[in-house]
Structure 1
């Protein structure tokens, strides 16, 4: 048997196993004629893309064997799950991680039965699939994941099959530009294989219908050297694919050596549903959209469909492929690479196996000196920048900072003291901080930043994604997919923990006064809070030292999505570092220096989460000290938002007794929150005293105005908080009518000042906590 014949046999075996997964409950080797009871009652799966995925896998295995090539395989058409599972079983990996699905007839039966079956596995490429790092539930991210996996992996080739339907998504269309950020000397290589099978679910695909010359020009314009492989006849297409891959891998080697400057890619054009039924019920299927999912849908009830299914499966000649025990024959086993060279067993696709802890400087060394609370200011993200600079310097091969052209804007410029922005395209004398060796990845696509970082993390490295808060919503869906991946991975014993996905959201809602309403949205916190408590964490450090403590914790963590919201503008320094460490470890706590209730029951609790809401709460507490000195006020700051939930809902949740002691069970609680107010109600609705909780936060009121006017537009300002106290503490309403009116007048005066001078008044803009006796003021 020739090499191409063995490749064809392997391909037929993978196709047979793929069809069996979609259709069969029993009789896996067709030892008897198919009967309706052998077929699943619910037929779920996607056949159309599967034979092309199997075709690529079979040919890439040859390259791995012959060249001892380290390679992983990313399935962009994620609903080709049968292909990924079939190849993992043929390579033996599936049986290694799931011993009950053995590599024999009984194991094949279990393999078929579990697919898209209650209690089984999904129909798409998922965390349960060995060798996968690209979730198949949503399209568009495969090529970004592939490049993320290749960064800092110089010996790795990432073969990425891009479906022509997937190629129509915005993230994928942008991902072609990732080659301008890859350094051939220190990074691996990405081999995109654009698979044109012509159709999506019900419509033709754009790239399959444009003139071939235009398609080639498009790929050349992206900076690739495209190679065409096109055919319907398996023998001829096998020959062309093998010849092309030999040329392509020679070119990859030439690019890495500097002899070539354009990386290769392949355009593979084959029929959708290749080798499946050509017609069903008189309608064309192979090569049309009808092959997308289940070509024969009435197998249990339609005897003709049942006969066609049996003929289809027997066309792969399973008797030549599997021995009497249902094991792959020797010729197939010889096609499989050995050990970790198998794409389904490659450790890069289970990145926790390769993960090394970051070398971390002591974050305390970067502390801002705090001689008295709330007396001076710092820019938190600028302080954090020094910490990140030294993390990058200490981890030159496994930490990257991603951002959509906002690293400097978000005050992290200190990182450019030790690295540049990754850039492998043309440079001009006027450019700054561009380098092919840069550790900062900046491109004006949140999708690419997220996709790169996900690929980087899932292959065993570390990183941070910084973004303007309002525009992180662009990756809401990508975040959802990654969170689901982590949640599923936690339940799979052989999946090793990976570094957490860390978001730093700055230029936030309360300090986007210069950009205006379009840049004011804290709603990502709501999206994140919808995910499983085992995965998500949300932190709102109120000052620079708390940000350092939180960042250190997040960068050391595993298998989480950590969202940190921190301002880049000057905010008050509230705590010296020792106090900040304790406060952040606790997650929520009383600020004793701002409170007046020690040793007594408070009359009111002023709670806050977020830097600007905390500032306004402190200023309100100062006003209450001056005007109502007899009022007992407790000021509570929340850093870890998930502490507000009960322990039954989140691992960080506070026991009821602790929550009740902190917030009381019957006193009014006025909570000044960074985000939308109802999120706090969602987190606390089970708590005793929830009816006494009144939350202030962003309520879609914004414009281009001053910082304090933004606070007033949304009623989180100090004057309104004092009015809330008067309205909600029993006995204050009638007695403090004069003070309430004064607060309302002060708001009017503050707004009038902004309209006349274009900035906030000095007593508001420069307010600090008074460290004198209130009676002396």
Structure 2
């Protein structure tokens, strides 16, 4: 067993060990660290006898041992020293725990600082509460083993690695008084998103933003392998981090006294440097990009745990990653070794007879909201203010005659976003992020109000770069996602604009955010935060110029697989419906909203008032587009969702009106995709009665959909009319071609839709054979025309709504 728990030298004078801590500070910091380590081990192993008032027996041990010990002592060390500087310097601080599987450590520290008992009053800060704390960890009906939403002081779920540092910067943006410490695990540091995150210093404004202090914790191992950065010589690692633009301060060792002194000195040096950077920027007007400090902390994995188990080395090896001593209930030797391990922390010095932490343990703990477990920045809804969205009337387009005037919907939306940027100029709590596509996506009106955040070199040929910009562009979807998540979780608002096909890059990240929101909604102490809003544009049907590589509408499918209480998907068909949807999404709380809208010119169908009413319904019949007279059910329903499918559907309805005027056609447009689900499956879902009234129970439904057609079948497969549902959508047919050829290639064009109607309305196939043949002939002529002229057929290119 390690002797790593020996207390510092007694007394109140200066310690003999070099460093900033006197003997009393060294003693109390070490006491806090030992207490946190003891509590971490107890959570993994114990379900009774928390203070070891009796010898350990098998029944005191959990039947299933779950959790991660290896990273916990390092996290406890960092937490202890953060307590010291936060208290001494009266800092407002937040910590992001990258090795989130070290959940025992973060839970232990929030219990020590009192926030856990304040959040969960039954888990009191005494022996009885300690017993509950231990039993609930990784136990049925308890809490997860990771740093989860249930953990006070956390905004970061560490189950999936790679995102801690981008979350930290997101939290720091527009938070000038906040220090965001971020522990980066060395396994996590091997991921692509984390590697890109080191560049976030090029976007951090020392005037208007807070500071991020990365703490790269090198304990040498992942689950079963060494880590790359830990095996680099210090000189090579130092050069790498300096090349990223950081100023590393190295702390290395396995002697507690020396490490305490060195880490305290490192924190003091880094925080002094941060204060100097901010002073020079805020008071002296310095605009050169600073080299921000960071800490590189090398300590043994599983430090203070068992040296060996069954003759094999454990401490400072990968074997300490999870549970160093397995089968404790059934292995007397392991049970004895566990008791020795726990007693080596000398709990009788750390907790009084009632199990309460002693004065030495709590000496370094800050008070009130400065405690890391109590910071309001980790419960962003406490700080959130309503977003001042200007009246939509300022930006709406006039619709005097439907389907005759074209606007670029996202350009219209850009005006609204610019208005929000202007309205939040003083309070600075709204940002737009995207991977180098803001202007490409027609949102450049934002630049009338703010520039693009940028701290690196600026050339004369550059445009719209600004130190204090609130538009953020970097060609990493991971960074955009992480920045925005950190920003939202700490109480602000924002929008992520992306090409539709490349939203998939953050599939896994949005999974974790959705899970976080779903869990947080069940915790009454977590206040609602602003929704994560995606604008997916440059979409599949207007990526004919970039070609097949840029065509993929499947992000919607991915999102609609997730928790129905959290996810929302909107496909506005024109500019005014986009404004209405965006207004709703930007004001909403605790959702992930996906809005798919085009940036290319498209027809205006609805006035603003009509758009608002239609969006409130989520799906509805457009009586002006159909040929129903109200005396009978329609012969066929033309359904549509998405801007291009809507245009093709209305063009098909126009053809049917002219060539088959006796046919009763109903046109149904869907804005809110969740409306197609049953009411019991999603809060926005329709009852069977509502669905049947809109789509009928037995009439053919030809549905033109923006994405993969099977999604519509999945959403409606239990409806009575599903056997009559025929869906056209994207079927992986794409290339560099004309806009109309894209829909022809995927059988979503107006002529194909008319043919579908003829094929599926009973008796119509015989009566309308000539019309069907004419529709097929146009498609054939189309193929020849585009190959000769390079443009679409005149009757397509020049078409307008004539209803």
TM-score (norm 1): 0.99
Alignment partner, residue 283 of structure 1: 312
Q: Does 1:14 align with 2:36?
A: yes
Q: Does 1:309 align with 2:338?
A: yes
Q: Does 1:362 align with 2:403?
A: no
- Does the aligned pair in 2 maintain the 1:592–1:598 contact within 8 Å? no
> Secondary structure at the residue paired with 2:352?
coil
Alignment partner, residue 510 of structure 1: 541
Q: How do 1:601-680 residues align onto structure 2 when only pairs under 5 Å count?
A: 601-680=633-712
Identify which of 168, 172, 179 aligns with 1:150: 172
Of residues 81-90 and 645-654 in structure 1, the stretch that sits farther from structure 2 once superposed is 645-654
> Secondary structure at the residue paired with 2:194?
helix
Gaps of 5+ in 1: 772-777
- Does the aligned pair in 1 maintain the 2:733–2:746 contact within 8 Å? yes
Query: Residues 381-423 of structure 1, C-alpha deviation per residue, up to 9 Å, x if partnerless?
Result: 0000011001001112100000000000000011001110000
Alignment partner, residue 563 of structure 1: 594
Alignment partner, residue 216 of structure 1: 238
- Does the aligned pair in 2 maintain the 1:165–1:199 contact within 8 Å? yes
Alignment partner, residue 775 of structure 1: none
> Secondary structure at the residue paired with 1:504?
strand
Q: How do 1:130-529 residues align onto structure 2 when only pairs under 5 Å count?
A: 130-258=152-280, 261-396=290-425, 397-529=428-560
Of residues 289-298 and 679-688 in structure 1, the stretch that sits farther from structure 2 once superposed is 679-688
Identify which of 97, 100, 111 aligns with 1:89: 111
Q: What is the distance in 2 between the residues matched to 1:250 and 1:568? A: 48
> Secondary structure at the residue paired with 1:608?
strand
Q: How do 1:717-732 residues align onto structure 2 when only pairs under 5 Å count?
A: 717-732=749-764
Query: Residues 558-588 of structure 1, C-alpha deviation per residue, up to 9 Å, x if partnerless?
Result: 0000000000001110011111111111111
Structure 1 residue 598, shift from structure 2 partner = 3.0
Q: What is the distance in 1 between the residues matched to 2:501 and 2:64? A: 43
- Does the aligned pair in 1 maintain the 2:27–2:360 contact within 8 Å? no
- Does the aligned pair in 2 maintain the 1:51–1:274 contact within 8 Å? yes
- Does the aligned pair in 2 maintain the 1:672–1:697 contact within 8 Å? yes
Q: What is the distance in 1 between the residues matched to 2:236 and 2:454? A: 27
Structure 1 residue 703, shift from structure 2 partner = 0.8
- Does the aligned pair in 1 maintain the 2:569–2:674 contact within 8 Å? yes
Query: Residues 121-154 of structure 1, C-alpha deviation per residue, up to 9 Å, x if partnerless?
Result: 1000000000000111100000000000000000
> Secondary structure at the residue paired with 1:606?
strand
Q: What is the distance in 2 between the residues matched to 1:684 and 1:60? A: 53
Of residues 358-367 and 287-296 in structure 1, the stretch that sits farther from structure 2 once superposed is 358-367
Query: Residues 159-204 of structure 1, C-alpha deviation per residue, up to 9 Å, x if partnerless?
Result: 0000000000010000000000000111000000000000000000
> Secondary structure at the residue paired with 2:667?
strand
> Secondary structure at the residue paired with 1:63?
helix
Q: Does 1:752 align with 2:784?
A: yes
Q: What is the distance in 2 between the residues matched to 1:598 and 1:544? A: 29
Q: What is the distance in 2 between the residues matched to 1:170 and 1:220? A: 18
Of residues 654-663 and 199-208 in structure 1, the stretch that sits farther from structure 2 once superposed is 654-663
Structure 1 residue 511, shift from structure 2 partner = 0.3
Q: What is the distance in 1 between the residues matched to 2:265 and 2:545? A: 58
Query: Residues 43-91 of structure 1, C-alpha deviation per residue, up to 9 Å, x if partnerless?
Result: 0000000000000000010001110011011100010000110000000
> Secondary structure at the residue paired with 1:300?
helix
> Secondary structure at the residue paired with 2:51?
coil
Q: What is the distance in 2 between the residues matched to 1:507 and 1:230? A: 50
Q: Does 1:71 align with 2:97?
A: no
Alignment partner, residue 53 of structure 2: 31
Structure 1 residue 513, shift from structure 2 partner = 0.2
Structure 1 residue 738, shift from structure 2 partner = 1.6
> Secondary structure at the residue paired with 1:467?
strand
Alignment partner, residue 726 of structure 2: 694
> Secondary structure at the residue paired with 2:624?
helix
Structure 1 residue 763, shift from structure 2 partner = 1.4
Query: Residues 105-134 of structure 1, C-alpha deviation per residue, up to 9 Å, x if partnerless?
Result: 111001000000111110000000000001
> Secondary structure at the residue paired with 1:615?
helix
Q: Give the aligned CA root-mean-square deviation in angstroms.
A: 0.8
Alignment partner, residue 774 of structure 1: none
Q: What is the distance in 2 between the residues matched to 1:590 and 1:765? A: 26
Q: What is the distance in 2 between the residues matched to 1:141 and 1:665? A: 48
> Secondary structure at the residue paired with 1:294?
coil
Structure 1 residue 750, shift from structure 2 partner = 1.2
Identify which of 725, 729, 747 aligns with 1:715: 747
Structure 1 residue 364, shift from structure 2 partner = 2.1
TM-score (norm 2): 0.95
Structure 1 residue 210, shift from structure 2 partner = 1.3
Structure 1 residue 334, shift from structure 2 partner = 2.5
- Does the aligned pair in 2 maintain the 1:165–1:200 contact within 8 Å? yes
Q: What is the distance in 1 between the residues matched to 2:27 and 2:395? A: 64
Structure 1 residue 258, shift from structure 2 partner = 2.1
Q: What is the distance in 2 between the residues matched to 1:715 and 1:598? A: 30
Q: What is the distance in 2 between the residues matched to 1:584 and 1:767? A: 26
Q: What is the distance in 2 between the residues matched to 1:483 and 1:628? A: 48
> Secondary structure at the residue paired with 2:404?
coil
Q: What is the distance in 1 between the residues matched to 2:671 and 2:292? A: 47
Structure 1 residue 264, shift from structure 2 partner = 0.3
Q: Does 1:733 align with 2:765?
A: yes
Q: What is the distance in 2 between the residues matched to 1:64 and 1:202? A: 35
Structure 1 residue 465, shift from structure 2 partner = 0.1
Q: What is the distance in 1 between the residues matched to 2:798 and 2:255? A: 77
Q: What is the distance in 2 between the residues matched to 1:324 and 1:277? A: 27
- Does the aligned pair in 2 maintain the 1:22–1:43 contact within 8 Å? yes
Q: What is the distance in 1 between the residues matched to 2:222 and 2:785? A: 59
Alignment partner, residue 542 of structure 1: 573
Gaps of 5+ in 2: 1-10, 12-23, 282-288
Q: How do 1:565-580 residues align onto structure 2 when only pairs under 5 Å count?
A: 565-580=596-611
Q: What is the distance in 2 between the residues matched to 1:69 and 1:637? A: 53
